[in-house]
Structure 1
Amino acid sequence: MYPTQDVIGMLKNIDHGDGITEIRLDRPPVNALNPALVTALDEAIGKATDDGARALVISGSEGLFSAGLDVPELLTLDEQGMREFWESLFGLLERIARSPVPIVTALTGHSPAGGTVIALFADYRVQAEGDFRLGLNEVQVGLVVPPAIHRALVRLIGPYPAERHLVAGEMIPAAEALELGMVDELAPPADVVERSVVWCRELLKLPRHSMSATRQLCRAELGALFDDRDALDIDAFVAGWFDEQTQATLKKLVERLKG
């Protein structure tokens, strides 16, 4: 492992050798996804691959990968600002889905909502074992999961399990997430990043052309989710965000978080 380099104060790049770069979310206290962090992560992934990285690991702090969307900050945006944020979030997800190199999410702890969404589009997911939870709880805060995210979840765990999870919107314990196929392996919290790096290192031992071409073939449907921009249904999500009942639910959530 080589020295850490700060990336505009919210990310850290760590070179693990063998062409493997770790991009660590570093936005205290909970790595919440706001416009600046989403843009920074998108740009960091692009720069790392442009600079020759052969595999990437996206990680968080021990005990917490990301708490999801920064609801307090997003509530300050007007409709145009929220639309721009959602477009940038889809840009990040597309970047991950179409990445020319493998990406592993090292889920270093809890990973609700937006944290889980990022993981859905990666090649592989290593989850910290223990009393950690992840999943898509949009229904419980008055939101509807966009079609592309729904289809990415279905790709991992199947239509009916995805339906049951999304409709209830309940967080899933780590061990259950492994059984469902939402994550690929569990590791002790302190070992999640190392297990992610090991997975990358083993994959990179394969013949480069055949591995890359097969990977591209298998992931083509994931990237294709972003081909039709209208199908992303951004307008519907923004309208739902500003629905009176949804706004009231989100504001109550913020008050509970403050408490």
Structure 2
Amino acid sequence: MIEIHAHGAIHEIRLARPPVNALTPEMLSALRTAVQAAPEQGARAIILSGGERVFSAGMDVPHLMGLDPAGLKAGWASLFSAARAIARSPVPVVAALGGHSPAGGCVLALCCDYRIMARGPFRIGLNEVQVGLVAPDAIQHLMRRVVGPYRAERLLVAGALVEAEQALAIGLVDELTDGEHVTKRAEVWLQELLALPGEAMLATRRIARADLVAALDGFRNDDLDGFLAEWNSPSTQAALKALVARLGR
């Protein structure tokens, strides 16, 4: 479910669970481990990539719907653990988004230092409201820090997914390129960053990203319990079952 490709000192961690890289607890655990291990294995920077038309479709809802309460809690906790690992990475991480990046896919991308998205009719955003879920404040913070509070409010309340050109215009992604070039552009951007004085760059980065780390660290067990209570509410379950039915078609 996870592939590692070394480009010299830049290591690419590729999500590899066809057809849409839907996130399972096992996959997220493997991602967390890979991100944490990369610097120990000589990586000075990381590229997080996915599929050609779908970076990641977010959490595997049909899989989650089949879990018992303990498994469900562990499953959602695994998303936050992976997000924290990316946010806490001591080396820069670039998201190479080859296609659609909704929900959990967007969460992972927002934890990266920089986002490069494929040009075209691809969408990105936190669309939790569309399936009856409430994005926790820690996740909302990720959106606010890149697009600003008011625009984040509008996007989050509507559960909006925006196409690549609009995502670039509002700062949700940092640049667009042709789909086949997203990984290469990520590598070039990181090479330019790594050419800077290393200690100063990394120390400045650590200070600049402290709010991101704090927001994710602030999501506690009680917050997860509250999220799961909403997940199990009748209205949310009805919306999720309708989603699973659509996916089945």
TM-score range, shorter chain: over 0.9
> What one-letter code is carried by the residue in structure 2 that aligns with 1:118?
L
AA partner of residue 104 (structure 2): G
SS in 2 for 1:176: helix
For 1:209 and 1:258, how far apart are their aligned partners in 2? 50
Report the TM-score when normalising by structure 2: 0.97
> Residue 31 of structure 1 corresponds to which residue in structure 2?
21
2:4 paired with 1:13: yes
Match of 1:124 among 110, 114, 123: 114
Confirm or deny: 8 A CA contact 1:59 1:105 kept in the other structure.
Answer: yes
Question: 2:212 aligned to 190, 209, 222, which one?
Answer: 222
Q: Please list the CA deviations of residues 149-192 of structure 1 after superposition, one character each: whole Å capped at 9, or x if unmatched.
A: 10111011001000000111121010000111110000100000
What is the alpha-carbon distance in structure 1 between the residues aligned to residue 44 and residue 83 of structure 2? 19
Deviation at 1:230, TM superposition (A): 3.0
- Contact 2:138–2:218 (Cα < 8 Å) also in 1: no
CA contact (8 A) 1:147 1:231 kept: no
Q: Distance in 2 between matches of 1:232 and 1:216?
A: 27
Opposite residue 154 of structure 1, the aligned amino acid is R
Query: In the alignment, residue 69 of structure 2 is paired with which amino acid?
Result: E
Hey, what's the Cα distance between the residues in 1 that align with 2:148 and 2:46?
A: 26
Structure 1 Cα separation of the partners of residues 10 and 96 of structure 2: 13
Q: Per-residue displacement from partner, 1:99-148 (whole Å, max 9, x unpaired)?
A: 10000010110111110010111100000011111101100100000111
The answer to whether the aligner puts 1:174 opposite 2:164 as a matched pair is yes
Aligned equivalents of 1:232, 1:170: Cα separation in 2: 27
Please give the secondary structure, in 1, of the residue aligned with 2:217. Answer: coil
Of residues 227, 243, 249 in structure 2, which corresponds to 1:253? 243
TM-score (norm 1): 0.94
Identity of aligned residues (%): 53
Gaps of 5+ in 2: none
State the shift of 1:257 in Å: 1.1
Which aligned pairs between 1:1-259 and structure 2 lie closer than 5 A?
10-17=1-8, 19-230=9-220, 233-259=223-249
User: 2: distance between equivalents of 1:228 and 1:28?
Assistant: 33
SS at 2:58 equivalent = coil
In the TM superposition, residue 227 of structure 1 has moved relative to its aligned partner by: 3.5
Report the Cα offset of residue 231 of structure 1: 8.0
Cα-Cα RMSD: 1.2
Give the C-alpha shift of residue 232 in structure 1: 7.2
Amino acid paired to 2:192: E
Indicate conservation of the 8 Å contact 1:20/1:197, yes or no: yes
Alignment correspondent of 1:6: none
Secondary structure of the corresponding residue to residue 14 of structure 1:
strand
Distance (Å, rounded) in 1 between the aligned partners of 2:219 and 2:236: 24
